[in-house]
Structure 1
């Protein structure tokens, strides 16, 4: 039997493998736009091809999100990696948009199965002094992987005539290596009964976190709708509205927000969770206002600055919400609770974008984008009000130190 890797090496490696799932999820953004030009399918079909990933992920989270709490983290992580490898191979050889939609759905199912298991395993493998950092690292893996995947795929589209083969052959190799790596990591949780019962679709929300979870829903909606706008619609906006062609511009525009979110998640991790959440959602509101200004004035630099600003806010608000909830979760509840959080997140990531894609032929591209931005602004404003109120409640509930002035 091969010798198991140390927890420290497993911690770093699992974070890298988890990021690879989202690198692969971001890569199709410029590639789908290229296929749209080559195969001539509609904007509505494009958003379905993009968003079916998130719907598959959501379904997988609801069914299998708690499975690793019962059978162990490693078997679930390996199953997810085999599913991801299968989706990469379908992408590699897909002859039509129907096959690409199938590949995206399979990718979503695999990533959903991976999400709660990897989040839990990364925290459990982390050294004691890095437990707080582990939560930020898992969140950064999601956002950073999406952004870097979109950027590098855009570079490949710009400079390689067969970018699809290059990207998905390389990602297939990465998944093979990841399977070998995860197979040598140690198991971090004991098996317990109830695996079959855990497959019943449900969200596990212990009483101690429900208030915080519900208060964070407007933050999640605004936060996750923001990157979906860039990953799902920005290639069409650049080509049809700004007259900017090429994969590099599409990849860069899709990269800015998620990468800014990944970097900011580490910066915000040093600040109180509530403050991070509140400041983050304020920045999301400021970012979408700038994006809307850039679209209305056909001023691309404003769109880019807004993407970065909103991305910073997304990283701060999502990481802050995770840190507000994480201390109240028991170890055997961890995967189930993460599945509930990501279920809310990916509903916001997918459903509004699918609706927007179907509205484009009816309303036009720019009015649809303006309406989409208005929804983000409304939920961001609601999130600001709720988080500010809860910050005041936190201050009232916090005991005053003995001998201090009131």
Structure 2
């Protein structure tokens, strides 16, 4: 297992993250079954982000003390509990519980699994392991809707089989995790929840602000596709194939992975402003797809917007990690992720609220315009003052 350590850890990471987006193509079915509004869909989705943020703030570094393997197993346990909530769903409370547990799983995985992949990489393969961790994170998020959409469209039990399949994958991931080498070698293992708060050192704030705003805009796009895109596809574009819906969502995460992988070719200085401008182009395409009711334009928007989000996101993480003093680096990065996950939740709840007054298409246009202005403003600021992202 030592030679396959980091690919196996990446597989565990991907399986865990896939569960967090598994319900995405199914929200329309839940709406029909339970009779709630598009606003409630976005609120159910946003509960996930609250779980992630709470976990990052309370247990972001717990694997440093308790060990990587116990934390990964705990994350898989939360993921399995989430799947069971959806499997035996009996109304909105079960959906809320499932999404909250899913957020706990993602919060634990985002730190512990990333570090495990990097620590298990053989000497000389750190860059490859970093790409594997990125691909596992975004690839897993993209594979969740793809798997659920395919099973819901072409197999029986559309609201049950996706979660049964994921439980089987979690069992495989748990076995892999049990066989992984433990990379934390301290003799005393403790599990303590210590609120970390949000702290940004004064000397980093000039770098932190544009990076965090870029991440907010990029994650808002991801939130739109994972929470509201299925309704756009069905109601605005009149496409009711759940497998196709899952594929549309998959494309935005696939493009994000590609964008993060491209940063080495683009360069750290140009990645963040360039990513913002590509994100702007993606948002223009998303808005055009709503105006013209065009599925190809929506897919193009997903690809372009995801590419920009990935490029800007990796550039932002690199800039913040490099600017923060070593003694405050973990807290600064945690604060950055809190802002990012606020971006994935708050704007889509706003879209859900706007649908009650404007309808789905116009609410999507307002969202696209607001996020476009934010991304464009950050991109122009960084283009004029490139030192602010360094």
Q: TM-score, normalised by structure 2?
A: 0.91
Is contact 2:321–2:333 with CA below 8 Å preserved after alignment? no
Deviates more, 1:181-190 or 1:199-208: 199-208
> In the alignment, does 2:355 pair up with 1:360?
yes
- For 1:159, the equivalent position in structure 2 comes to 154
Instruction: Report the secondary structure of 2:24's partner residue.
Output: helix
- For 1:277, the equivalent position in structure 2 comes to 272
Shift of the 103–147 alpha-carbon distance from structure 1 to 2, 3 Å rule, reads same
The CA distance in 1 between the partners of 2:219 and 2:162, in whole Å, is: 25
> In the alignment, does 2:57 pair up with 1:58?
no
Instruction: Report the secondary structure of 2:90's partner residue.
Output: coil
The CA distance in 1 between the partners of 2:209 and 2:144, in whole Å, is: 31
Instruction: Report the secondary structure of 1:126's partner residue.
Output: coil
Q: 2:39 aligns with which of 39, 44, 48?
A: 44
- For 1:404, the equivalent position in structure 2 comes to none
Deviation of 1:100 after TM superposition, in Å, equals 1.6
- For 2:253, the equivalent position in structure 1 comes to 258
- For 1:290, the equivalent position in structure 2 comes to 285
Deviation of 1:112 after TM superposition, in Å, equals 0.8
Specify the structure having the higher radius of gyration (Cα). Answer: 1
The CA distance in 1 between the partners of 2:77 and 2:186, in whole Å, is: 22
In the alignment, structure 1 segments of 5+ residues that lack a partner are 398-406
Deviation string for 1:294-322 (max 9, x for gaps)? 21122222121111111111111112222
Deviates more, 1:329-338 or 1:206-215: 329-338
In the alignment, structure 2 segments of 5+ residues that lack a partner are none
- For 2:21, the equivalent position in structure 1 comes to 26
The CA distance in 1 between the partners of 2:332 and 2:188, in whole Å, is: 18
Instruction: Report the secondary structure of 1:321's partner residue.
Output: helix
> In the alignment, does 2:30 pair up with 1:35?
yes
Q: 1:116 aligns with which of 111, 114, 124?
A: 111
- For 2:364, the equivalent position in structure 1 comes to 369
Deviation of 1:373 after TM superposition, in Å, equals 0.8
- For 2:79, the equivalent position in structure 1 comes to 84
Deviation of 1:341 after TM superposition, in Å, equals 3.0
Shift of the 302–166 alpha-carbon distance from structure 1 to 2, 3 Å rule, reads same
Shift of the 212–267 alpha-carbon distance from structure 1 to 2, 3 Å rule, reads same
Q: 2:97 aligns with which of 98, 102, 123?
A: 102
- For 2:226, the equivalent position in structure 1 comes to 231
Shift of the 119–328 alpha-carbon distance from structure 1 to 2, 3 Å rule, reads farther
Deviates more, 1:63-72 or 1:194-203: 194-203
Deviates more, 1:188-197 or 1:239-248: 188-197
Deviation of 1:173 after TM superposition, in Å, equals 1.7
Shift of the 242–393 alpha-carbon distance from structure 1 to 2, 3 Å rule, reads closer
Deviation of 1:191 after TM superposition, in Å, equals 4.4
Deviation string for 1:94-132 (max 9, x for gaps)? 122321221111111121122111122222222332223
The CA distance in 1 between the partners of 2:131 and 2:269, in whole Å, is: 15
The CA distance in 1 between the partners of 2:365 and 2:191, in whole Å, is: 45
Instruction: Report the secondary structure of 2:256's partner residue.
Output: helix
- For 2:131, the equivalent position in structure 1 comes to 136
Deviates more, 1:80-89 or 1:186-195: 186-195
Deviation string for 1:55-76 (max 9, x for gaps)? 1111111111122233332222
Is contact 1:139–1:319 with CA below 8 Å preserved after alignment? no
Is contact 2:207–2:323 with CA below 8 Å preserved after alignment? no
Deviation of 1:216 after TM superposition, in Å, equals 0.2
Instruction: Report the secondary structure of 2:156's partner residue.
Output: coil
Deviates more, 1:301-310 or 1:354-363: 354-363
Instruction: Report the secondary structure of 1:164's partner residue.
Output: coil
- For 2:379, the equivalent position in structure 1 comes to 384
Q: TM-score, normalised by structure 1?
A: 0.88
Deviates more, 1:266-275 or 1:41-50: 266-275
Is contact 1:72–1:188 with CA below 8 Å preserved after alignment? yes
- For 1:403, the equivalent position in structure 2 comes to none
Deviation of 1:42 after TM superposition, in Å, equals 1.1
